[in-house]
Structure 1
Amino acid sequence: MKRIICIAAVIFCITITHAQDAPAATVEKSVFNVQTGFLGLYANNEYGLSNHIALRTEVGLEPGFTIRPDDSEWSVLPMINLEPRYYYNIEKRAGKGRNVSGNAASFFTVSVRCNPDLVLYSTQEDAKMATFLGFVPKWGIRRNIGQSKFNYEAGIGIGYYTLLGNDKKYYDETEGVALDLHLRIGYRF
């Protein structure tokens, strides 16, 4: 009986010691990233709020296109984005030995995006833009490229947008369905 208790105690101690050797994977406290995609240039920071949740703040420059029957134009517009991200599989990926540095995992988020009525450059003089405000629930992934600080990210979601301000009178639709699809490559500092 004493042998069984001793063996059980040794197994218990080994299990506890081994479990303490492998810390649980969590989101990082702060991750600064620059990214570019098919269209646009972005800088963002993710601040870890809990083991699985990070708050992402982002600013960027994006092109805007307007096509009319008689002419077309393109512009460069600023963008501001705020999104809490829930990284739901970061522990599972770390448990499989995958690289999860820089929050390289799959996530759910609700993107709150604003394009203010500020046109930085346009092919048309006195271009006017209404403030765009969008709310989009999204699913996405971020993965590291090898062991480097380079990463790629993809996300998709469908939500709601509205136009604000006096310049919305120039648009036929001032609210509707917003599709958010992003494919980006970036570098983490």
Structure 2
Amino acid sequence: MKKTITAIFLLSTIFLSAQNSTVGVEKQLFKVNLLLTPGLEYEVGVSKNSTLDFRLGTGLAYVKVNDDEDYGVFLNFEGAYRYYYNFEKRASKGKNTSGNSGNYVALTTFLASGDPIIGDLESDTDYIGQVGPVWGFQRTYNSGFNLGLELGLGYTFSDSDSFVAPIVGFRLGWAFGR
């Protein structure tokens, strides 16, 4: 089964990257996310419409149980394979596609430390990870201002538990190298 899924994925990637077009992803894009979840991000083009995105930064967790509220800011590493699907449509309408401004579907993953660097959220685990599909969009404006949103559902795991949880990512920052 794994070989079949891998073969389908590779063939679809080859087919999608073989289509002719004048619009495509940036060869590389470096982003500094400053607001909400600070971090450094590097997105590299691997085909006409696909990128690999790597982020080293922080993530926010908030938990409310009955009347008790706790939060924590955690160090994390994220990686994603993104497929941008609407560059042609955006370009035909005269909209910006530079800086990978478009909508995408992605397979994303992250790994975070179990202890917060800021906050009072206590954890009995050494790490937490998550992997899953997301839908997202990214916009990069002429000034370099960059914003992005991702929504999805992922398999979450740690050294003590596993469960299904929502994936929500929101970033504000600046993009360089476009």
- TM-score w.r.t. structure 2 length? 0.75
State the shift of 1:72 in Å. 5.5
Paired residues of 1:136 and 1:178 also in contact (CA < 8 A): no
1:26 corresponds to: 24
Are 2:39 and 1:42 equivalent residues in the alignment?
Answer: yes
The structure whose residues are more often strand, as a share, is 2
**Partners of 2:60 and 2:97 in 1: CA distance:** 32
Which one-letter code corresponds to 1:130 in the other structure? D
1:137 corresponds to: 133
The structure whose residues are more often helix, as a share, is 1
State the shift of 1:151 in Å. 2.2
Picking from 137, 145, 154, the partner of 1:150 is 145
Paired residues of 1:77 and 1:115 also in contact (CA < 8 A): yes
1:51 corresponds to: 48
Picking from 105, 110, 124, the partner of 1:108 is 105
State the percentage of identical aligned residues.
28
State the shift of 1:128 in Å. 5.0
Count matched residues. 156
**Partners of 1:115 and 1:123 in 2: CA distance:** 16
Question: Any stretches of 5+ residues in structure 2 without a counterpart?
Answer: 1-20
Q: Secondary structure at the match of 1:27?
A: coil
1:19 corresponds to: none
The structure number with the bigger radius of gyration is: 1
State the shift of 1:187 in Å. 0.7
2:85 corresponds to: 88
State the shift of 1:130 in Å. 3.2
Q: Secondary structure at the match of 2:24?
A: coil
Q: Secondary structure at the match of 1:93?
A: helix
**Partners of 2:107 and 2:139 in 1: CA distance:** 20
- TM-score w.r.t. structure 1 length? 0.71
Paired residues of 1:119 and 1:128 also in contact (CA < 8 A): no
State the shift of 1:76 in Å. 2.7
User: In structure 2, do the counterparts of structure 1 residues 177 and 122 end up closer, same or farther at CA, with 3 Å as the change threshold?
Assistant: same
**Partners of 2:71 and 2:150 in 1: CA distance:** 25
Which one-letter code corresponds to 1:134 in the other structure? Q
1:64 corresponds to: 61
Picking from 148, 156, 159, the partner of 1:161 is 156
Question: Any stretches of 5+ residues in structure 1 without a counterpart?
Answer: 1-22, 169-173
1:178 corresponds to: 165
